Structure 1
């Protein structure tokens, strides 16, 4: 049948099972929006307050479900406003399709009104991108975009569509997308045999879990693998929930703000088994001294990650779920009783601690964990609150901790929170933000209230850019250059003005009642928590130091 480009786009989205789009209209996408109007009962469109919010919402939708998130924006500034969200998704391997409009084909390259080369701009931060100039190519391009976004190592794909393409007609035939099969032929029995030999020879192994284990839905295989190897477990920000934070074998996060137990275990181990992690600098510290006593076995879907940051002794390249299944089928259960006992002694000796005087971020997070039983999706912005959220809320399930790990995007969490709640309406979804981050995209509270999306926004309001101030305090002689937010913004009034229910917590005694009320009322809520300006994230590894040089507040004062 003959359809316009806009009709074809919507039909292709329906083919792919898309039920929600986050976006903002404009001239170059008017034909698309007109068609979405006709299909409101099939595809829900969430109008965000800013295109960046749309990209972060699509990201949160994708991370919390494993499905492809979709965002839509017009040409020029609409398209460029998506770039930070696209880059965020790219760094964390999130499946997303970003659709942008552009000027008509005959106006391309002529500095036309609201024209930018968005494909050129996003080339470094997309898995692939397309410019559609012929309506006959539109359907196949959309189908390819979704396939690329979710196969192999996932990532964002951009499809830029010229405006006249959305109005032109061509023949359309419905195509049912093929089932995406997991790739199983990227590793050999010899690869497995070498890995198994390394495991069997190890006396002090550690398993290090990254985001690849979450992306590949491999948490059941991870748990079985841990049992078979009999090894303590540490993780990255992106790997949280692939192995339960409540499990006795869990030692905490690794790296700059990792636990002493995790950092010391990796330093002492004789085999580090890395599952779906890219060895970020925030994890490794001084690479020359990282896991200095260990052989390293790396399991990853992307061959480009092997020997990129850390030289490894052996790698098995493939889908984490399939690789671990193969290991679990062949590996006999190992026993490392003395090593496990030693690591458990370290857990007892070096627990995470926070000040119990006054209201603190860790206190709020522990109280949230108590009240929810850990059954919540936590999204975050970036900074101290992000680290505390990783440390003090135990993630028992995957896809329940959603944060910008690679790019470190301030302003990410609120949009991601909205996307995650839209995708998971029956789950409690909470965004943890610092006051500096909340300012960046707090306009998305208006999105939550517009659609009555019952998210909970908690602000750790210390009136400073907390993480930068922490570095200035520790490494820059307490010269607080432009990190003090001593203005008159009242977040409670701002939230109420946008239609949300708002509370302020100033002391410990107020916290439980307010949090219980926020969890109960099922409407958009903002909670402004007033914290001390100089509370710090502990433990910490100084930049450039080895992870074994991790220090606590007590260690720092002792120096």
Structure 2
């Protein structure tokens, strides 16, 4: 039926209207993609997608078909995180879009620009039980997205692309879902397409900047708490300039803010939160002012709200709904992280006398140096021994020592990612392209592939768990086919690590956390055209990484690691289970902890 409708409709009307040439809705959609700054389309063929794929392929739009819809969505996610906007889009058939639903929710939750489009049946079939009837699909996808529209008229199609790019890219970024009924692609339209220029990101008022400066002047121990919002705004350089101009220590959130500054920067006090540095948590809790930029004060960042906060907090965020969401800040500021940081740096440069005197600046840097030294010594003890099975911290130390500066490291969801973003040593400012709030297992490899496509000159490494690797291993064939080089290092402890630790501490017998030992992951990779090796001796880790770097294409390193390695939290007197509650609240309440107030101190 759908093929018949396409044959009947395409090319039946060459008229013009208002000087605009008539063309198919599919042609208008792709024209709008080009005009809206979309550079790449990831997708999966099916059903009525043919006319759109034809326009994509014949108009110079870069495109790639992944092995599954969810992999294509995660590739677009990674691509857009590097670009800082909706620079790519996805195209699927209606049956396949639900496979990408996890990425849609992750993008909305983790503030990532993502456009998911799909083709549903001709709406004439809505009441007729058509094959692959998808009338309910849009209602399932809409709650997962920041922006969602169902299109039934070809004239609306170009506008929907424009609105989706704006919604996904501006304010707090998120996912946009477009449902194109089949007739939209094959009917003709004369609707004009305009080039899209995204609006300028919002700045703070001069009066607000002055209030922040005055708050810093009054404080004796201020810190900057930088989160994912600074990464989203591509504001790492502006963060460094402001911190140096004001001589204020910086702590980052444990996932989203990692890589904003080099770990050795003289003002970087470390990672705050459950999987952070003890010294950074101490500096944060001893501060009398937090200048927070682009953080939502999540469970992981605050140790489930056990961390003591100061009375004075300036909260800067692009999303007004974040301001005062959990507690009342002293000053809430709506603004783009990069823009506001530039404003603050300019304001500090004009001050006379300077914002921070030399003695105070020296003392603050000394505190930071102590935090860094304590962390290096602790990490040194964790990573010194290779072990048998191999100690994961030793693997991360070798990665830090050998991988080139600026390597983009992508951790798949799981226990290994918590260790990665805590212990991997960033030697220079580096993009963070994953969010830990809703990233599902099996996202890492595809996100890494998208990042490599967006920044081909960078070395990109996916640090995978064996559990997650079973989800996306088939994308190795995509890497081989497209000649995309990603180094995949598998933390293969033959279990679902985070689950195994938690269940064991609860005394729960759960055989589902165990993974097989007799699967040859390297052979699986080689069958798909990707070379690699298995490492069971710690002495072989460094040479294996060197061989991976020298390889022409993608390379897999299957490292057999220790399932007993503990992910120790960075808070004292907190039971290290999912919600990190204090002991007096009882082990039995960890899954539904009682909270006294919005953030009890």
- SS for the counterpart of 1:402 is coil
Distance apart, 1:350 and its partner CA: 4.5
Superposed counterparts of 1:189-204, under 5 Å: 189-204=206-221
- Give, in angstroms, the shift of residue 436 of structure 1: 0.6
Matched, 1:527 2:560: no
Q: Give me the whole-angstrom Cα distance separating, in 1, the residues matched to 2:582 and 2:355.
A: 30
* Conserved 8 A contact 1:210-1:276: yes
- Counterpart of 1:426? 457
Higher deviation after alignment, 237-246 or 103-112: 103-112
Query: Take 2:166 and 2:315, find their aligned partners in 1: how far apart are those partners?
Result: 26
1:334 aligns with 2:365: no
CA distance in 1 between counterparts of 2:324 and 2:226 reads 17
Q: Secondary structure at the match of 1:251?
A: strand
Give, in whole Å, the separation in 1 of the partners of 2:404 and 2:487: 16
The aligned residue for residue 557 of structure 1 is none
Deviation at 1:398, TM superposition (A): 5.2
1:345 to 357, 365, 370: 370
1:32 to 38, 52, 60: 52
1:297 has 2:314 as partner: yes
In 2, Cα distance between the equivalents of 1:63 and 1:109?
40
Give distance in 1, aligned partners of 2:128 and 2:107. Answer: 31
1:405 and 2:436 correspond? yes
Deviation at 1:179, TM superposition (A): 4.8
Separation (CA, whole Å) in 1 of partners of 2:210 and 2:191: 50
Pairwise CA distance, 1:145: 1.2
**Residue in 1 aligned with 2:597?**
none
CA distance in 2, matches of 1:198, 1:111: 64
Q: Whole-Å Cα distance in 1 between the matches of residues 27 and 262 of structure 2?
A: 45
Q: What is residue 466 of structure 1 aligned with on the other side?
A: 497
Q: 1 CA distance for matches of 2:199 and 2:559?
A: 45
Question: Residue 375 of structure 1 is aligned with which of 406, 418, 422?
Answer: 406
| Superposition deviation, residue 547 in structure 1 | 9.5
Instruction: Give the aligned partner of residue 151 of structure 1.
Output: 170
Distance between the aligned counterparts of 2:326 and 2:131, measured in 1? 44
CA contact (8 A) 1:361 1:531 kept: yes
Q: 1:363 to 1:179 in 2, by over 3 A?
A: same
User: Alpha carbons of 1:109 and 1:270: their partners in 2 closer, same or farther (altered >3 Å)?
Assistant: farther
Conservation of the 8 A alpha-carbon contact between 2:278 and 2:570: no
Q: Contact 1:244 / 1:395 at 8 angstroms: preserved in 2?
A: yes
**SS of corresponding position for 1:482:** helix
Query: In the alignment, what sits opposite 2:588?
Result: none
* Segment drifting more, 244-253 vs 47-56: 244-253
Tell me by how many angstroms 1:489 deviates. 1.8
Q: What corresponds to 2:514 in structure 1? A: 484
Indicate how the Cα distance of structure 1 residues 201 and 110 shifts in structure 2: closer, same or farther if over 3 A, else same.
farther
Q: CA deviation at 1:406?
A: 1.4
2:103 to 65, 85, 101: 85
CA deviation string 1:451-477 (max 9, x = no partner): 12111111100001111122234x313
Within a 5 Å distance, the mapping from 1:169-188 to structure 2 comes to 169-184=188-203, 187-188=204-205
TM-score by length of 2: 0.86
2:266/2:365 contact within 8 Å kept: no
**How far apart are residue 478 of structure 1 and its match?**
6.7
**Kept in 2: contact 1:191–1:315 (CA 8 A):** no
Q: 1:63 maps to which residue?
A: 81
- The match for 1:47 is 65
Change (3 A) 1:537 1:545: closer
Q: Deviations over 1:204-237 (max 9, x none)?
A: 1121110111111222221122123322211121
TM-score, length basis structure 1: 0.92
3-state DSSP of counterpart to 1:231: coil
SS at match of 1:267: helix
What is the Cα deviation at residue 115 of structure 1?
3.0
- Structure 1 residue 487 displacement after superposition: 4.9
For 1:492-547, what per-residue CA distance to the aligned partner results, in whole angstroms no more than 9, with x for missing partners?
11111112102111112111211111111121211100111111223344355579
Q: How many residues align?
A: 543
How big is the shift at 1:396? 4.9
Partner residue, 2:542: 512
- Contact 1:207-1:274 within 8 A present in 2 as well: yes
Change in 2 beyond 3 A, CA 1:294/1:261: farther
Q: Is residue 451 of structure 1 aligned with residue 482 of structure 2?
A: yes
Contact 1:60 1:419 in 2 (8 A): yes
One of 232, 237, 245 as aligned partner of 2:263: 245
Does 1:2 pair with 2:22?
yes
Q: Say if 1:166 and 1:309 are closer, same or farther in 2 by CA, change over 3 A.
A: same
Alpha-carbon displacement from aligned partner over 1:350-376 (angstroms, at most 9, x marks no partner): 444214142322222222222233231
Mapped partners of 2:100, 2:429: distance in 1: 27
Cα distance in 1 for partners of 2:97, 2:298 equals 29
Q: Which runs of 5+ in 2 are unaligned?
A: 1-20, 349-353, 585-601
User: What is the alpha-carbon distance in structure 1 between the residues aligned to residue 308 and residue 57 of structure 2?
Assistant: 56
Gap regions ≥5 residues in structure 1: 550-559
Larger CA deviation: 302-311 vs 158-167: 302-311
Post-superposition shift, 1:98?
1.1
Cα distance change of structure 1 residues 308 and 66 upon mapping to structure 2, 3 Å threshold: same
**Equivalents in 2 of 1:109, 1:325: separation in Å?**
56
**Matches of 2:266 and 2:507, distance apart in 1:** 40
